[in-house]
Amino acid sequence: MRVIHLGRVPIPRSLSVFHAVAKVANAMDEMVLVSSTPSGPFVSVGYHQLANRELNVPYCESHHIPIARRLVGGGAVLLDSNQTFWHLILPGAHAAIKDLYAALLPAPVSAYQRFGIKAEKRPLNDIVVGSKKIGGTGAASIGHSMVFVGSWMFDFDRELMAHVLNVPSEKFRDKTIQSLKEYMTTMKDELGTNLPTPEEAMAVLTEEFVNLLDSPAHEDVLTDAEEAEAERLAVQLFEPNFVFQNEGWITPGRKIRDGVYLYEGLHKTPTGLIRMIWLEADGWIENVWLGGDLLIEPPDALTQLAGELTKTPLLAREFPERLQSSFARHPIIGLTPEDLLAAYQQKMSITPDVSTPVK
């Protein structure tokens, strides 16, 4: 197993390197454990999310907090220099994401325990201390690799997290801060000032992965190909057109044209929240967007499914039947047709001057 500990790096590099290593890897390459600590705060939205719906973009811009879109699913997260992020890249691996979590979560859980923190695994992919979350993990396929991601949560700015999120009111923001205090913890909360350094923490985690995977570790550096790809992705992942993709016709309150309505439906699934947004005119569905904070495979499945749903004219009353046939052609690991139908049935108009449930 190659081990690449980058230490403190510029914000774009902290996100781009693991993507680059995964993209460049060939199926027969050895495993790679990459870690880095960003030089400052930034926000990352999940691959299937709408940045403007999840984030308080004006606040981020006015406080010079960069926004990125990662190629891994899940929700919007605040990352900063109080966290060290690690990424286990598994070239050529094939597994259901739930099985990947079951197989690999014992390593970071044991690593936390070795520092005296009573960490446990909570399905599907959380690490908790008692009732409080100390770390989430994620997984995805990138290129020919599966990637397992997580972090060392040395400390966390709960108030900043509440401010970068898009919430309906200041009262709700205060509740968000309180919830973050009640339901999440950090190494500083658990250990006080007696914290390991990022280097010490990564040394322990490396040992745990070595023991779990029976793969000896050796320190390494990025190859020329990985460096070049990391430089390219450091631009792409933060580029506004990439971060704010698909945010034209699906913007709430945007006037479309007379007789055309914009609808939204949400449904909580075991792997996250599915969000469906669509245009409807005179009983016909004209356009569909699918997303959410989901952890699904393959990564582009929702885009493929949305295209399949509307590649021929679609009457709204025929949506359930079309959904079943489209899903059969584009199956998704981590999501079912019933999940999407439930989101569709939670139909809410987000057309200007209309914001009530639709029966």
Q: Give tens-digit pLDDT for 241-256.
A: 999 987 765 655 444 5
Please state the φ and ψ torsions of residue 200, each to the nearest 5 degrees. Answer: -65, -40
Positive or negative, the CA dihedral 323, 324, 327, 331 is positive
> Quick one: which of 77, 34, 73, 71 has its CA closest to 54?
77
CATH of 260-349, one of 3.40.30.10, 3.30.460.80, 2.60.120.260, 3.30.390.50: 3.30.390.50
Average pLDDT estimate for 208-223: 98
Percent of all residues in the chain with a pLDDT value above 90, rounded to a whole number: 75
Please state the φ and ψ torsions of residue 201, each to the nearest 5 degrees. Answer: -65, -45
pLDDT of residue 354: 42
Q: What is the DSSP letter of 357?
A: B
Domain boundaries defined on the chain: 2-243, 260-349
Could you read off the pLDDT of 94-120 as tens digits, one per residue? 888 889 999 999 999 999 999 999 999
Average pLDDT estimate for 220-225: 98
pLDDT of residue 265: 92
Distance CA 212, CA 149 (A): 16
Alpha-carbon Rg of the chain, whole angstroms? 21
Cβ atoms of residues 239 and 15 within 8 Å: no
pTM of the predicted model as reported, rounded to 2 decimal places: 0.87
Helix 319-329 and helix 301-309, axial crossing angle in degrees, nearest 10: 140
Residues in a beta bridge with 264: 277, 348
Cβ atoms of residues 289 and 277 within 8 Å: yes
CATH 3.30.930.10 fits 2-243, yes or no: yes
Could you read off the pLDDT of 46-93 as tens digits, one per residue? 999 999 989 999 999 999 999 999 998 889 999 999 999 999 999 999
| Tokens encoding 89 | 């890249």
| Tokens encoding 28 | 């027969």
